[in-house]
Amino acid sequence: MSLLLKLEYATNLSKYEHGEAVPSIESAKKIADAFGVSLDYLVGEGVNSKFDKKTVTRLLDIEKLDPTDKEHVFAMLDAFLAKNKLQAILK
């Protein structure tokens, strides 16, 4: 990840992750760009702050898929959501 973000020192990322240091605005922007999120989101103030980390990570992974694979994932998700809605109605 440090190489991807082109941070000056590899240990900086570990310190950020463990709350031992705070990234500069420039580093925070690089981290946000690498994850495809806003700075607001990165600091927990964004619209998506209500989502857990695992959900956000999965969504970011889906976004990287080619369009055909992404459509397959959405079709499966739609089927699961429709099933849950139907079960809720039938209760």
Residue 36 DSSP symbol: T
How many domains, the chain?
2
Q: Are residues 42 and 84 in the same domain?
A: no
Count CB neighbours of 32 within 10 A.
19
What is the structure's pLDDT at 24?
Answer: 83
Model confidence at 5, in pLDDT bands (50, 70, 90)? Answer: low
Q: How many residues are present in the chain?
A: 91
Q: Are residues 31 and 73 in the same domain?
A: no
Residue 6's SS3 state is coil
Q: What is the crossing angle of helices 25-35 and 10-17, to 10°?
A: 80
pLDDT in tens, 27-79: 888 888 888 888 887 777 765 556 677 888 888 899 999 999 999 999 999 99
Q: Are residues 45 and 57 in the same domain?
A: no
Q: Are residues 5 and 45 in the same domain?
A: yes
Q: Are residues 56 and 44 in the same domain?
A: no
Q: Are residues 42 and 19 in the same domain?
A: yes
User: In this structure, what token pair is assigned to residue 88?
Assistant: 């809720």
Domain that holds residue 27: 1-49
